[in-house]
Chains A and B, each alone.
Chain A
């Protein structure tokens, strides 16, 4: 319960959600954050080298 109390102090959820509204698109801020994190992880998964990938590729040659 102590952890829950600390988290509750950091994230006050006792209010209606914040919503971004643009034409017919309506998204909560929390959903936009999740979509942003997914896009960031997708980009990092493509850009970051996988451990041992270069060694394996050299070993093949």
Chain B
């Protein structure tokens, strides 16, 4: 609570360097995740017969699929951007690690969705994944051809893990601030009295300015 007082959780200002398109992909990823969760809740309420055999069911099925595609699309560009700006600088290693783990957990979250479709596509993906997972020695722990098991992984366990990780990731970004460009970091190191040095990079601190 000391590091993240509730009144400072939402930013009302950002450092000047955040005015770049490369900084929008994290928010775009979260926006996609919200659409995924909303459409997923509707799909889970209605069930496979609805999403396969009704027009509105097809619509929400497609919304769910394409929001997942956008989620990974934006998340990978966000990852590239943060990798090339070495976003773990300045004590931000936990921000980087939570983001990387989110990516790793999101992959089986999507896979279990593909095998939960209840169609031939799902059967094909499940049997292909089964061979791959068995060859990696993890097939004893779960069975991708078991719809009930994969569906509960997909609608509960893995989304819960992704949501918790994303919340931790965002809170850590709020605590440490958005990573500054290399030039600003160097300028701050060489000239601690420079005008920008007076304004800390931390978004949480800047929010009050």
From B16, B21, B195, residue with most partner A Cβ within 10 Å: B21
Q: How many Å lie between the Cα of A46 and that of B85 in the bound state?
A: 11
B21:A56 contact, CB within 8 angstroms: no
B56 located at the interface, meaning its Cβ lies under 8 Å from any Cβ of chain A in the complex: no
B16 touching A60, Cβ below 8 Å: yes
B80 x A52 contact (CB < 8 A) = no
Contact among B73, B81, B195 with A34 in the assembled complex (CB-CB below 8 Å): B73
Q: Within 8 Å of chain B (Cβ to Cβ): is A27?
A: no
Question: A41 to B19, Cβ gap below 8 A?
Answer: no
- Tell me the A residues contacting B by CB distance below 8 Å: 34, 38, 41-42, 44-46, 48, 50, 52-53, 56-57, 60-61
**Is B34 in the interface zone, CB < 8 Å from A?**
no
A interface, by DSSP: helix, strand, loop or mixed? helix
Q: Tell me the number of A-to-B contacts counted with CB atoms below 8 Å.
A: 36
Contact B77 A44 (CB under 8 A): no
Within the complex, the shortest CB–CB distance from B60 to chain A, in Å, comes to: 15
**B24 close to A (CB within 8 Å):** yes
Number of B residues whose C-beta is below 8 Å from A? 14
- Residues A45 and B21 in contact in the complex (CB < 8 Å), given A34-B73, A38-B73: yes
Our pick among B19, B22, B76 for the contact of A45 (Cβ within 8 Å) is B22
Whether the Cβ atoms of B21 and A50 lie closer than 8 Å is yes
Residues of A within 8 A of B24 (CB): 45
Contact of B77 (CB < 8 Å), options: A45, A48, A53: A45
List, in ascending order, chain B residues with CB within 8 A of A56's CB.
16, 19
Are B77 and A41 closer than 8 Å at their CB atoms?
yes
Q: Which residues of B contact A60 (CB under 8 A)?
A: 16, 195-196
- Judged by a CB distance under 8 angstroms, whether B153 is at the interface is no
A46 to chain B, nearest CB (A): 6
Residues of A within 8 A of B76 (CB): 38
